[in-house]
Amino acid sequence: MGMRMTLEQERNYERQVDQLRALVNGMPRFELQEIDGRPVVVDSRLGDEGVQIRIEGSGQLEACRYLVHINYYALIKLLGLLDSVRGTKAHGHAACFLDALRLDEALGISER
Protein backbone atom coordinates (compact mmCIF):
# COMPACT_ATOMS: atom_id res chain seq x y z
CA MET A 1 0.00 0.00 0.00
CA GLY A 2 1.12 3.60 -0.63
CA MET A 3 2.40 6.01 1.98
CA ARG A 4 -0.18 7.21 4.44
CA MET A 5 -1.00 10.89 4.49
CA THR A 6 -0.22 13.03 7.48
CA LEU A 7 -3.09 14.59 9.40
CA GLU A 8 -2.27 17.94 7.78
CA GLN A 9 -2.33 16.37 4.29
CA GLU A 10 -5.68 14.71 5.10
CA ARG A 11 -7.14 18.04 6.23
CA ASN A 12 -5.84 19.73 3.08
CA TYR A 13 -7.40 16.98 0.95
CA GLU A 14 -10.76 17.39 2.72
CA ARG A 15 -10.63 21.16 2.31
CA GLN A 16 -9.87 20.87 -1.40
CA VAL A 17 -12.65 18.32 -1.96
CA ASP A 18 -15.02 20.69 -0.13
CA GLN A 19 -13.85 23.59 -2.33
CA LEU A 20 -14.44 21.54 -5.47
CA ARG A 21 -17.85 20.44 -4.18
CA ALA A 22 -18.84 24.09 -3.54
CA LEU A 23 -17.63 25.03 -7.03
CA VAL A 24 -19.59 22.21 -8.67
CA ASN A 25 -22.75 22.84 -6.64
CA GLY A 26 -22.74 26.46 -7.82
CA MET A 27 -22.31 25.56 -11.48
CA PRO A 28 -25.06 26.02 -14.04
CA ARG A 29 -26.09 22.81 -15.80
CA PHE A 30 -24.30 23.64 -19.04
CA GLU A 31 -25.38 22.21 -22.34
CA LEU A 32 -24.05 23.11 -25.76
CA GLN A 33 -26.49 24.47 -28.35
CA GLU A 34 -26.29 26.20 -31.67
CA ILE A 35 -28.03 29.56 -31.91
CA ASP A 36 -27.88 31.63 -35.10
CA GLY A 37 -25.31 29.19 -36.48
CA ARG A 38 -22.93 29.69 -33.54
CA PRO A 39 -22.21 27.46 -30.57
CA VAL A 40 -23.38 28.79 -27.21
CA VAL A 41 -23.29 27.32 -23.75
CA VAL A 42 -26.74 27.39 -22.15
CA ASP A 43 -27.91 26.70 -18.61
CA SER A 44 -30.20 23.76 -19.41
CA ARG A 45 -32.48 24.71 -16.49
CA LEU A 46 -33.28 28.02 -18.22
CA GLY A 47 -33.54 26.93 -21.87
CA ASP A 48 -32.97 29.55 -24.58
CA GLU A 49 -33.14 32.30 -21.95
CA GLY A 50 -30.12 30.82 -20.19
CA VAL A 51 -27.32 31.64 -22.64
CA GLN A 52 -24.16 31.81 -20.53
CA ILE A 53 -21.24 31.83 -22.97
CA ARG A 54 -20.95 32.56 -26.67
CA ILE A 55 -17.98 30.72 -28.14
CA GLU A 56 -15.96 32.58 -30.77
CA GLY A 57 -12.55 32.32 -32.36
CA SER A 58 -10.09 29.74 -33.56
CA GLY A 59 -10.34 27.56 -30.43
CA GLN A 60 -14.09 27.26 -30.77
CA LEU A 61 -14.19 23.51 -31.49
CA GLU A 62 -11.78 22.64 -28.67
CA ALA A 63 -13.68 24.83 -26.18
CA CYS A 64 -16.94 23.15 -27.20
CA ARG A 65 -15.45 19.67 -26.73
CA TYR A 66 -14.11 20.65 -23.31
CA LEU A 67 -17.44 22.03 -22.11
CA VAL A 68 -19.36 19.01 -23.36
CA HIS A 69 -17.15 16.60 -21.43
CA ILE A 70 -16.38 18.64 -18.29
CA ASN A 71 -19.88 19.32 -17.06
CA TYR A 72 -21.85 19.34 -13.82
CA TYR A 73 -22.83 15.67 -13.98
CA ALA A 74 -19.30 14.47 -14.78
CA LEU A 75 -17.91 16.56 -11.93
CA ILE A 76 -20.45 15.07 -9.50
CA LYS A 77 -19.10 11.62 -10.47
CA LEU A 78 -15.55 12.92 -9.97
CA LEU A 79 -16.45 14.07 -6.45
CA GLY A 80 -17.74 10.57 -5.72
CA LEU A 81 -14.46 9.14 -6.97
CA LEU A 82 -12.45 11.54 -4.81
CA ASP A 83 -14.53 10.49 -1.79
CA SER A 84 -14.02 6.79 -2.51
CA VAL A 85 -10.22 6.80 -2.89
CA ARG A 86 -9.48 7.79 0.69
CA GLY A 87 -7.11 5.27 2.27
CA THR A 88 -6.23 3.59 -1.02
CA LYS A 89 -3.11 3.72 -3.19
CA ALA A 90 -4.92 6.26 -5.39
CA HIS A 91 -5.39 8.73 -2.53
CA GLY A 92 -2.01 10.40 -3.12
CA HIS A 93 -2.69 10.70 -6.84
CA ALA A 94 -6.08 12.24 -6.09
CA ALA A 95 -4.39 14.77 -3.80
CA CYS A 96 -1.97 15.69 -6.62
CA PHE A 97 -4.94 16.11 -8.95
CA LEU A 98 -6.64 18.46 -6.48
CA ASP A 99 -3.41 20.46 -6.13
CA ALA A 100 -3.25 20.79 -9.92
CA LEU A 101 -6.73 22.35 -9.95
CA ARG A 102 -5.31 25.28 -7.95
CA LEU A 103 -8.58 25.76 -6.07
CA ASP A 104 -6.86 28.07 -3.56
CA GLU A 105 -5.65 30.55 -6.15
CA ALA A 106 -7.55 33.73 -6.86
CA LEU A 107 -8.91 33.91 -10.39
CA GLY A 108 -7.53 37.36 -11.14
CA ILE A 109 -10.99 38.50 -12.23
CA SER A 110 -13.71 39.98 -10.11
CA GLU A 111 -16.30 37.48 -8.90
CA ARG A 112 -19.91 38.61 -8.81
Q: Where are the domains of the chain?
A: 1-27+71-99, 30-68
**Contact present, 3 and 92 (Cβ < 8 Å):** yes
pLDDT tens digits along 26-80: 887 878 888 788 888 787 777 666 667 788 888 887 888 887 788 888 999 999 9
Any idea what DSSP says for residue 95? H
Q: What is the average pLDDT across 85-108?
A: 88
**Contact present, 92 and 2 (Cβ < 8 Å):** yes
**Contact present, 98 and 20 (Cβ < 8 Å):** yes
- pLDDT higher than threshold 50 for residue 7: yes
29 φ, ψ (degrees, to nearest 5) = -90, 85
Q: Strand runs (DSSP E) across 36-102, as ranges?
A: 38-43, 51-54
Q: What is the pTM of this model?
A: 0.77
Confidence tier at 18 by pLDDT (50, 70, 90)? very high
Mean pLDDT score across all residues of the chain:
83
